Amino acid sequence: MAFHGYAAAPTIAALFCFLYFFHRRLCCRHPLLTDYPILGMLPQLLFNLWRAHDFFTEILKRHGPTGEFTGPWFTSMDYLVTCDPINVHHMLSKNFHNYVKGPEFRHIFQAFGDGIFTADFEAWKYNRDLFHSLFKQKSFEVFLVKTIHNKVHNGLLPILDHVQQQGRVVDLQDVFNRFTFDNICSIVLGNDPNCLSIDFSEVAIEKAFNEAEESIFYRHVVPRCVWKIQRWLQIGQEKKMTEACKTLDQFIHARIASKREELSKYNENEMGEAHHVDLLTALMREGKAHDDKFLRDAVFNLFVAGRDTITSALTWFFWLVATNPSVEAKILEEMKEKLGTKEKSLGVLSVEEVKRLVYLHGAICEALRLFPPIPFERKQAISSDMLPSGHRVNSGTMILFSLYAMGRFEETWGKDCFEFKPERWISEKGGIVYVPSYKFIAFNAGPRTCLGKDSSFIQMKMVATAILHKYRVQVVEGFVATPSLSIVLLMKDGLKVQITKREL
């Protein structure tokens, strides 16, 4: 009897596998890739991982803007993937409350804690209202612009002058990383670490942010059981994640403790409110009940929002401009035309001046369309729903929006969608063409639209005009711009350029 039982086991297992495979085929009605037994569609993704964003763009163009990705059996790697603006509009705006980040998202993005990017429902609303009130304060707006202006004038331009005089190749992405890190430290913590220095020494905290973001991307492309085992054993990418989070936490908590001590002294001396308007100070004064964990999570989320995204946008913008001389010429011509006789003594432009540069605005929007700083977004359905495209969404379904693919779809942007063409953003009357946020989704859409959108444009325009007026940026011969495998769309090997002074 025992022998017959053992002999039947493989048959039962084979039957079970066949039935499960058949069940998956029935459930997956719109497959994006070949669904292999046991491994699902993961092998094809891993084979194309080095070009993941372009790979998914090609797949979505071939099979339609919405389809299903199924991971290995019995893993939580099944997704509905879409780049259809109508579906995006439905999920991010019309039926916003049914599509949340969810517990799985918070598990993968554990480094973000319970900050605004991972929170849902009342916790998200509280964070949103709090930051909105802080960002709209006039004192903060003045402080923000002054900080950016001073860093461009006293940090960025002197460094580029030094590099230009030496005639050496420089990684412009690294320069922007340091520039934005100093900026965000000043704006959030009220302290400038001066990472943007001539010696370009390694900054441990900056490296830790990059490693944490790469680890989060890694968690999206391997089964949860794999990265959980790696975390338990402290090996591979998960070891880097643990070490990065430790470095980040030590840095942030030290600044929080220092700020508390600083504020207690100011209170004792009855110093005025205007002396400190950085966001950490404002958070401490705005909510006396905010504990260190809340402040840590808030600071981390603000750092990612205000540092990495700006670095990404500036890096891809300058690469596109440097490789499209006609666009560069038009930006310079607009600066000369709109700013009149100021062109020869141009320094760092004011907010009012950069707002007049329509073609530059179009060029930045084009860069963000083609290379959105956050290349994909992730949501989870609370209840069953039917998307406008006709695709069924079950309760608990994970959805991925490919923002990268959305900027490359003919149906939305026309047959020239792969071209860098700032003119598509400019109307016949010379104004900015309005594009709904669910089509141009670089700053998200619906209630979760980025609060820092306007300040981001101001910062990018200040940097772009200051550099383009004084210098010509030339990409080194043979350099290939490759997107990094991270949740933020940086360049894998940086942006290698030579800086030369522009003839005025």
- Edge-to-edge, what's the strand order for the sheet holding 496-501? 170-171, 496-501, 471-475
* CB 375, CB 404: distance < 8 Å: yes
Nearest to 198 by CA among 160, 234, 153, 226: 160
Ligand-binding site membership of 225 (annotated): no
Q: How far apart are CA 220 and CA 375, in angstroms?
A: 13
Q: How far apart are CA 194 and CA 472, in angstroms?
A: 25
* CB 127, CB 134: distance < 8 Å: no
**Token pair of 428 as six digits:** 């016949």
Q: How far, in Å, are 3, 17, 370 from residue 6 at the CA level? A: 5, 17, 58
Kindly report the number of other CB atoms within 10 A of residue 127's CB atom: 20
Q: How far apart are CA 147 and CA 192, in angstroms?
A: 10
H or E, element range at 100: strand 99-100
* CB 193, CB 181: distance < 8 Å: yes
Q: How far apart are CA 218 and CA 206, in angstroms?
A: 19
Nearest to 147 by CA among 192, 117, 197, 101: 192
Nearest to 182 by CA among 151, 159, 210: 151
Kindly report the number of other CB atoms within 10 A of residue 484's CB atom: 18
Q: What angle do CA 338, 341, 345 make, to 5 degrees?
A: 105
Q: Which residues are annotated as a binding site for heme?
A: 450
Q: Which residues are annotated as a binding site?
A: 450
